[in-house]
Structure formats: structure tokens, C-alpha cells
Structure 1
Amino acid sequence: MALVQRLISSDKYSIKCPYSMTPKGICIHNTYNDASANNEISYMVSNTNSVSYHIAIDDVEAIQAIPFNRNAWHAGDGSTGDGNRNYIS
């Protein structure tokens, strides 16, 4: 499987990944659709919604869009919860 880095531009950090973090672990989610990793990342990067995730994986490749030392908004626990501020998603 290929690992591709397609990191968002820093001008989107304030929306998608505003905080620095030291990861404690990973949080695995499922999108419950058959979109490719490329489509999932393209959608996340192209909109102005704050929902974000570090990496999308399909059966061909894994694409990283958020740096692992930045938070992402994926766990639904806000800016003070443990999930968003401490886990790679």
C-alpha cells in the first residue's frame, strides 16, 4: 500500500487543525461509503467545514492531509476533549 502525503496548506490550519499536539494514539473511523481515499481527502480539503481527519485509507493507498503534530476535528468532543486534541484520526 502506498502512503501519500498531500498536506493541507497552512492557511487552512485555523479551520481544520488549529492546535499543535503530541499524539497519544490513533482513533479509527469508518465513513460507511465506498469513496476512495483520494475523494475523501479532496472533499475534506476543499470545503470550509471544520470537520477534519489526518489520513484516509482505501484498498490502494493511504493519504495524509493533516500533519500528525496538529489536531483534527474528528471525535465530536470539542476543543477540550481528549479525542480531538490527542489522537491521530
Structure 2
Amino acid sequence: MEIRKKLVDSSKYGTKCPYTMNPEFITVHNTYNDAPAENEIAYMIRNNNEVSFHIAVDDKEAVQGLPLERNAWACGDGMVQATESRLVWKSVIL
């Protein structure tokens, strides 16, 4: 499956992905809803919450919302240098 890019504008980096990183891990998070990946990424980009993820995947496509070399605010441990700065977050819609 190819990953289609629909990246957040750099003007929102301060809110969505303020730190650069070299990813070392992939974390998969299940959203337990049936919204298309496109909608999940659009909602994440559109709002101003400090909540974000790199890629949303549904049964048809994968859509990337954040650059992989920037952090995401997802379900990490809150320790930017320890964990969140080394992960790529993928949300899976089931």
C-alpha cells in the first residue's frame, strides 16, 4: 500500500510537531471508529489541539499527515527526549 501525503502546513508545526527527530520505532494505535483515513488526517490538521499522529490507515489507503522527521503528540509517556521523539505514530481505523 502506498502512503499518500497530506502534510500539515509548517505554520502548525509549533502545535502539531514542534520537535525534529530520527524515528527508531513505529507505534500502532487503533481508533476503533470507521472514519476514513483521509478524514482522520483532515481533522487532525484542521484543529488546534496538541494532538497528532503521522499516518492514518483504513481498509483502502494510508494517508500521512506529519513529516516523519518531526515528532507527534499521541499516546506517549510525555517524555519528549525519551520516547515521543523517536516514534512514528500510525492510527489504524477499524
TM-score category (smaller protein): over 0.9
Runs of 4+ in 1 over 2 A off after TM superposition: 79-83
Deviation of 1:79 after TM superposition, in Å, equals 4.4
Bigger strand fraction:
2
| Aligned partners of 1:75 and 1:83 also within 8 Å | no
Deviations 1:38-74 (A, max 9, x none): 1100110000001000000001110001000000001
Kindly tell me: are residues 41 and 49 of structure 1, through their superposed partners in 2, closer, same or farther at Cα, counting changes over 3 Å?
Answer: same
Q: Which residue of 1 aligns with 2:14?
A: 14
Secondary structure of the structure 2 residue equivalent to 1:68: coil
TM-score, normalised via structure 1 length: 0.92
Structure 2 unaligned blocks of 5 or more: 90-94
| Aligned partners of 1:21 and 1:69 also within 8 Å | yes
Structure 1 unaligned blocks of 5 or more: none
